[in-house]
Structure 1
C-alpha cells in the first residue's frame, strides 16, 4: 500500500506541474497576443497608428491612393472616391482584354490584345489615347518615362515613352526572354535584362543602351543566375538575382552579396531595403550593412511613408525609422493590400478599406 501511495503522490505532483506549465503557456500566449495587438516597441511608445476612416467596399481588382483621392478598378470600371467613400467620378472602358497600371501621379488603362492605351491623370482626366503595334505584355512607369513591352509575332519590342505618351525610343528584340528594364533618371540610358535558356544552366544578360542613338554601350552576363530586379541609382545599377545582390558601374560588378530566399526589395532614399529569409536589411551603395534585424512574422512588401519605412505581411504592419523598429500592429483580418500616400496609409482587407495616420512626437512629423 505504501508503494501505491508513493505512486499516487508522484502522479499528483506531475498533474500539478502540468497544470502550472499549461497556465504559464496560456498566460504567455495571452500576453504575447496583447502585445502584438498593440503598438509594442518599447523605444518609441509615443508612436501610434490611428484610424482616420473606414470605407465599406465590394470587389476590387486594383486600388491606388492619390493624396486625398482613392482610385478603384473593378470589372473594367475606374471609380474615384474621396476619403469618406463618396464617389467623385466613374469611367467605364469597353476593352476585350482590359488591364490597368497605377503610376505615381498617372493611370494607364489598356486593352492588352489590341495595344490601345489611355493615359489619365490622378483626377481622371484623359491626357492621351494611343495605340502600339502588337499585344501588350507589360507596362511600367519608371521615373519620368513609361516602358511598354509589346509582342508582334516573333518580335518583342521595348517602347520608351515620356509621361505624355510621346515615343522616345524603341528596341526590337528577337528570340530573347525579357526579364527587367529601366531608364536612368537623366533619361540618357536604359537597360534590358534577358534570360538565356539555351544553355544547360540558366544565364541572365543585362544590356545597357543609349537613348539618344539606341546603340549598345556595354553588357554583362550572370552565369547560373536569374535576374529578378534591376534599378538605376544615377549611373549605378542595382541588380538582384535569385542568389546574389550586385552593384554595377561602368559595365563592371563593383560588389556583390550572397543572398537567398528573397521576399522583396525596394530602393528608398538611396539605400537598398531588402527582406530575405526572416531578415530585414538596409544596405548602402558601398555594400555596407547599415542595419539588420530579425523579423518575427512573414513580411512581403516594403513601402516608404514620410520619414518612415513600412513593412507589411498577411496580418502584420511594421514601421521603422532610421533603421529602427518604432511600431508594430497585428491585424485579425488578412491584409490584401497596403499603400502609402502623402497623407494616409491605406489598408485593404476583404470587405473594407481603412485609412490610417502615424501619430508621434512633434519631432518626427
Structure 2
C-alpha cells in the first residue's frame, strides 16, 4: 500500500506508514561504478539501510550470476555495501525488439533500459518495505539519458515520480517526497552536474573510497562492433529465427569466431580453451558440438542444428563437413599449416566420427564470417 499511496500523492498516508517503521530502508540501483558507490554511501551515511541492486542481462554483468556470493562479498569488503543481483534477461531481450524511446548511437536503448530497471526496483520496493528509490545518476553526465527533461520522463514512465532520489545531483532538482518528509536530509546531498569527475573524486577521498573501477561503458550494446552483430541477429541473421531468443543465444553471440554457413546456419568457434569450455557449457540438446579428440583445436557449436538442418542425410553430411572443416582449419598446425584430422560430432547422446576431414580453404568460408 505504501507505493500506491505515493503514486496517488497521498503524502499523509505515506508519512504514517514510514514513521511506523523502526528503520528507514531504501533501494538503490547499483552499477558498480563510482557514482553508484557514492550514492549508496551518501544515503547510508544518514542511517538509512541501503539495499543495492545490480541488474544484469546477457549484455552487461551476466557472468556475475555464476557466483553471486563472491560478488556480494567483494562489494561489501571494498565499500561496505550490501548488494545483490537481479536478472532482467527475459524482459530485456524482448525490450530490444522495439524500444519505445529508440536507440542511442549504436544498439543501446538507454532510456527504456532505465525505465525497465526502475519499474522492477519499484516492484521490489513494495515487496521489501523500502521507503524510496535512488540512483547514482548525475544531471547532464550523459547526453541521451541524463538531461533533466529525460530524467523526469524516465521517472514518470517508470511510475517513480516523487520517490526517486538522485543524491549526487539532488540540490539541482526539485525536492523529492523523501526529502520533504524528512526521511533524508537534503542539506547533506549534493549538486553535481556535467561530465567532469572532480566532484565525485573529491567525495570519494572524503569517504575513504580508493578502490573503485575506472569509467567504462560496461554494456556491449554501446560497442560499435558487437552492437552491429547483435542488431543483425535481431534482424534475422541466422536460420534459428528472430522469435524465442534466449539469454544463452546472446551469450553465444558475444564469444568466439562467428560464422553464418550457407542456409543461414549459425556456427560459433572457440578461440582458446576458456571459450571452448564456455561453448561446451552453453550447448543445448538441439546443438551439434564438434572437436578434434586427437589434436588441439577449437570446439565448434552449430546452434540448433537438429531443427534447422534438413532431414535429408546428404544435407546433414554436407553441413557437418563444413563445420568439421572449420574446426580443422583453426586447429593446431604442422609446419605452419593445418592438416586433415579426425573430428568428433556430438548431438544429444549421439556421437559420430568424421575421419580425415580436410581443412576448409579460406576462400571458401571468408564470406561466412560474421
TM-score if structure 1 supplies the norm length?
A: 0.19
TM-score w.r.t. structure 2 length? 0.19
Larger fraction in helix: 2
Between structures 1 and 2, the one with greater strand share: 1
